[in-house]
Amino acid sequence: MSRRAKIVCTIGPATATPERIQAVVEAGMDVARLNFSHGTHVDHEAAYGMVRDASDRTGRAVGILADLQGPKIRLGRFEGGRADWPAGSEIVITNDPLPLGTAQRVGTTYPRLAAEVGIGESMLVDDGKLSLKIIDVVGNDVRCFVVEGGEVSDHKGLSLPNSALSTQSLSDKDAADLRFALGLSVDFVALSFVRDPADVEPVRAIMAEMGVKVPVIA
């Protein structure tokens, strides 16, 4: 029976050797994900080459996905470097200058957060490991109820899937990474924090400029 599900694997430090990549290909990897939130262009070019080589050696077709970082909103720093946010507790994320936060109150790198979010909207912390619900916005303070709790540490990522933020979906870094990835001849591009079709247009424009067209996952 042929399987319809595809196996996507991120290529990182733990797998970035010819032997390990070939083993992952032989184990059934269908798509190799290059995560542009981490690593350098040199790292990604090396991984790209190893995946293509492993694909040729094994005779298995393996696609390569360039996953762009997108605009990264982050929490500030905590006293002691970390804090515990138990489910059911309340915390404040503030735009006030705050060199070091506490378990109850911490800053953010996004200066317009309090102005652009609303009550009832969700926040995801650390790639969704923690989930918050906005219950109040007063001045520069965004008060949140912790839905899914856990430990949080300095500079963890903060995403707002329901909020209409004014930040661009394709940052300058993303544009440079996209041009690099298309130059490598990746098979797919993934774009983060897409809110509407207009957010994909800058990606399409760069593809048109380079004479390349690949599927965009958004």
> Which residue is it, tokens 């540490």?
153
Domain segments of the chain: what residues?
8-70+168-217, 73-159
150-189 tens-digit pLDDT: 999 999 988 887 787 877 778 889 999 999 999 999 999 9
CA 64 to chain centre: 17
pLDDT band at 1 (very low <50, low <70, confident <90, very high): low
95-144 tens-digit pLDDT: 999 899 999 999 999 999 999 999 999 999 998 899 999 999 999 999 99
pTM: predicted TM-score of the whole model, two decimal places = 0.75
Those residues with Cβ within 8 angstroms of residue 209's Cβ, 6 or more apart along the chain or in another chain: none
> Which residue is it, tokens 């939130």?
37
| Fold entry, domain 8-70+168-217 | TIM Barrel (3.20.20)
Average pLDDT over every residue of 195-204: 88
**For the structural domain made of 73-159, what CATH number should be given?**
2.40.33.10
Measure the CA–CA gap between 90 and 98, rounded to whole angstroms: 18
